[in-house]
Amino acid sequence: MKAGQGIPVRVAEIEAVTPLIRRFTFEHADGGALPCFSGGSHIVVEMQGAGRVHRNPYSLMSAPDETRYYQIGVRRVDEGRGGSRFMHEHVRKGTVLRISAPVNLFPLVRTRRKHILLAGGIGITPFFAHIVELRRLGVDFELHYAVRDASHAGLANDLRDLAGDRLHLYLEDRGQMIDMGTVLRGQPLGTDVYVCGPAGMIEATRAAARAAGWADSHVHWEQFSAPPPGEPFDVELAHSGVRVHVAADISLLEAIEAAGIDAPSLCRGGVCGQCEIQVLELDGELQHNDHYLSPEERASGSKIMPCVSRARCRRLVLAL
């Protein structure tokens, strides 16, 4: 989403659903209907911060066919780059923001016969819309949701209404952990597993699925990365003939956008592959932080995903 584009929305409601998570309800600022979407979709929210623009992806947690409003859950990350803090501290009821149209990188595979949904903490957000869809389709599912303790389980009541006894809630302070091996064992043919949560949880799920003989095509995960800060560096954009400075706490994509160059992007979290750029020259090393490029592509040093990845280099020339 480029500056000034996208859909203008007004914040209609803000709820503190856990000590760290706020649920924001957006309505179209012009009063119209918002696009309907499919379960697992996310939007990018544009925030005008002090001196810089934040653009963060958030999963839509309202019902997919609800076009009067959208809801997102924002977990406050104090050590982060400031997007979620901005949402928590500066966004009020009535604030107007811009969002992108929904994009789905985490859809349900509709031909499957059963779906296992695994969530940790804020990773629960995409599953709300999934569950609405699964209930409408009448397809079997299980939801396993792990939170730190009872005070962080504020969304469990809403989930209980949606999922009934298909919800399995785990309170980690009571030593309750999701045992991926047990959850996946003996599931009928045509079952898929979807996981959204911390990196360790995603890894554990993928390992358990592999151990249980599941083909990779039945295992799905979503993990948006925030672009990690790093050393500042300069980049030359060959086609635009522009030299751009990338400061320590700004992503390469953000620096390119701030220079007024039109760079393609979609998820801004290293997942979708839309922002891939060819590396023409490099004197130094690329720091890949995406979940998109294959190990071989990373090693080749010929491609970079500017939304989350950086370089430690004396010289970097990109085909943009």
Choose, by CB under 8 A, the member of 67, 168, 214, 317 that binds other proteins.
214
Choose, by CB under 8 A, the member of 111, 161, 165, 296 that binds other proteins.
111
- The type of residue at 150 is A
- Token pair recorded at residue 208: 């358990």
CB closer to other proteins out of 93 and 110: 110
**The one segment of 13-21, 25-33, 182-190, 253-261 that binds other proteins by CB under 8 A:** 182-190
Considering the rule CB under 8 A, would residue 181 count as an interface residue with other proteins? no
- Token pair recorded at residue 315: 């010289």
Considering the rule CB under 8 A, would residue 294 count as an interface residue with other proteins? no
Considering the rule CB under 8 A, would residue 110 count as an interface residue with other proteins? no
Residue with tokens 């785990």: 170
Question: Rounded distance, CA 26 to CA 43, Å?
Answer: 12
Q: How far is the CB of 179 from other proteins (least distance, A)?
A: 16
- Per the DSSP assignment, residues forming a β-bridge with 117 are 143, 194
Choose, by CB under 8 A, the member of 138, 175, 200, 217 that binds other proteins.
217
Considering the rule CB under 8 A, would residue 213 count as an interface residue with other proteins? yes
Report the DSSP pairing between strands 70-75 and 303-304.
unpaired
- Token pair recorded at residue 52: 């810089």
Choose, by CB under 8 A, the member of 35, 190, 264, 284 that binds other proteins.
190
Question: Rounded distance, CA 47 to CA 87, Å?
Answer: 8
Choose, by CB under 8 A, the member of 41, 84, 100, 191 that binds other proteins.
191
The site that binds other proteins (CB under 8 A) totals a number of residues, namely: 20
b vs e for 271-285, b when ≥16 Cβ sit within 10 Å of the residue's Cβ? bbebbbbebeebeee
Considering the rule CB under 8 A, would residue 182 count as an interface residue with other proteins? no
Positive or negative, the CA dihedral 227, 232, 233, 237 is positive
Query: Interface residues with other proteins (CB under 8 A)?
Result: 111-114, 184-191, 210, 212-218
